[in-house]
Amino acid sequence: MDDKVSLLEAYNKADYPIGGNGKRNVQVLKEVIENTDGNTDSDMYGKGKVIEDFQTKMARYLGKESAVFFPSGTMAQQIALRIWCDEKQLKKVAYHPLCHLEIHEEKGLRELHRIESVLLANEERMISLEDVLNMTEEVACVLLELPQREIGGQLPPFEVLEAISAHCRGSGIKLHLDGARLFEILPYYGKSASDICALFDSVYVSFYKGVGGIAGAILAGDEAFTSQSKVWKRRHGGDLISLYPYILSSDYYFEQRLPKMERYYREAIELAERFNACHAIATKPLTPVCNMFHVHANVSKDRLEKALISVYAESGIGLTAFLRETGETTCMFEVNMGDRYANVPKDKLSNAFRLLDEKMQSTE
C-alpha cells in the first residue's frame, strides 16, 4: 500500500508524466464552462437543444440514424445487449473473456438483466472469425471491443471485421461495438468512424478515454433501437434532469482532440520502441495500433516499482503511476498517449530510458 502510493506520488511529482492528457481535476470542467454562455439552457430529462444537438452530431459522425447520450458506457452497453436479447427472446450474448461487462461491472448484465454470456477467444488473444463461426451456442448478440483494451489495445484486420459482420447479419445475430476507444483506432484502419460503425447494429463510444472529457457515452443505432434505449436509460436511473456538464465537456474535447488521434498513435509507436529497447521489457502489442499499449516486464512488481521511482527522480520523467502484478517475477502497466507526450523533452526522455534499461539489467 505504501509502495503503491509512492509510485503514484513519484509519477505526479515528475516534471513530465508521459501518459494521458493531464490531471483529472476541476480545471478540465472550468475550461469548458468558461467557454460556454451561462444563458445556455440545461437539457431536461433527455430533451432540449444541448443534448439533442450533440446526439444528432454524433449520430451523423457515426453514420447511424440516431444516438442517445448516456452518463456511462456501463449503462449504455448493458441496455444495448438487453434490447437485442429482448428482440430475439434469447438472453444470451457472446463476448471476449476480458470484456468490460465481464470483469468491471460487478456482473450487472446478469444481476439486472439476467443475460448470460458466452466467452469467445481467450485472455491471450482477440476474437477471430473462426471463434464466431464455431460458436456452438445460439446468442442474440456478439460484442466486439475495438481495440481490445485488456490485451494492450489490439485490433483485428478490417477484413476480419467485415467477415464477422457479414456472418452475423446472415445468421440473425446482432453485432454490437464496444467503441470506448473508437476515435483512437481510426488512424490505424485509415477508415472513417462511419465506415467502421456500418459493420455494427449498435455502437457505444466514450468521451473520457482519448477524448479526455469528464464522463459520458453515446449509444447509436437505428431509431427503433435508440428509442427503446431511452426507456431503459430511465429505468437504470440514467435519465438525469441535467446531463449538460458531461455533454458540453464531451463535445468540447471531442472537437479539440479528434484531430490529434493520428499524432497520439504515432507517438505510441515511438514510445513503444523505446520500451522495447530496454532489457527485460516488451510491449503488447509490439507495435501499437492506437494510442495505447501495455508494457510487460520480467521483474517483480516490487523491484520495478523501486526502479521506476528512482528513474522518475533522476530524469524528471514519469512513466506510469500504477503497476499490476502478473506473476511472482512479472508485472505490467498500461500507457495511454494524449496531450502530455508532445511536451516531453526528447533528451530527458532518452535519459529516462537509458536509466530504466540500466536498472532493468541490474535487477536480474
Q: Which residues bind a copy of itself (CB under 8 A)?
A: 23-30, 33, 36-42, 44, 70-76, 78, 105-108, 111-113, 208, 214-215, 231-232, 234-246, 248
Least separation in angstroms between CB 133 and a copy of itself: 32
Question: For 69-72, which contacts have Cβ atoms below 8 Å and span 24 or more sequence positions?
Answer: 69/216, 69/217, 69/218, 69/243, 69/246, 69/247, 69/250, 70/216, 70/217, 70/218, 70/219, 70/233, 70/238, 71/215, 71/216, 71/217, 71/238, 71/240, 71/243, 71/246, 72/215, 72/216, 72/217, 72/238
Closest approach, Cβ 239 to a copy of itself, in A, equals 7
DSSP 47: B
Given the complex with a copy of itself, which of 111 and 130 has the nearer CB atom? 111
CB 104 within 8 A of CB 134: no
Choice between 141 and 297, CB closer to a copy of itself: 141
CA distance 331 to 211: 28
Taking the least distance from each CB to a copy of itself, the nearer of 72 and 165 is 72
Closer to a copy of itself by Cβ: residue 71 or 156: 71
Provide the minimum distance between the beta carbon of 109 and a copy of itself in the complex, in angstroms, as a whole number: 9
Residue 208's nearest CA partner among 226, 188, 181 is: 181
Pair 29, 245: CB distance under 8 Å: yes
Three-state DSSP class for residue 192? coil
Grid look-up 446482432 returns 174
Least distance in angstroms from the C-beta of 147 to a copy of itself: 19
Q: What angle do CA 222, 63, 215 make, to 5 degrees?
A: 85
User: Are 205 and 58 a contacting pair, CB within 8 Å?
Assistant: yes
Q: What is the sign of the dihedral through the CA atoms of 127, 131, 133 and 137?
A: negative
Closest CB 73 distance from a copy of itself, rounded Å: 8
84 vs 353, beta carbon nearer a copy of itself: 84
Shortest distance in whole angstroms from residue 61 CB to a copy of itself: 23
Minimum distance of a copy of itself from residue 244's CB (angstroms): 7
Nearer to a copy of itself, 232 or 312 (CB): 232
Question: Residue 131 corresponds to which amino acid?
Answer: D
Cell digits of residue 239: 435519465
Q: To the nearest whole angstrom, how small is the minimum distance from the Cβ of residue 29 to a copy of itself? A: 6
Query: Which residue(s) pair with 324 in the sheet?
Result: 332
Residues 81, 115 contacting (CB under 8 angstroms): yes
- Nearer Cβ to a copy of itself (115/199): 115
For a copy of itself, the closer of residues 63 and 245 by Cβ is: 245
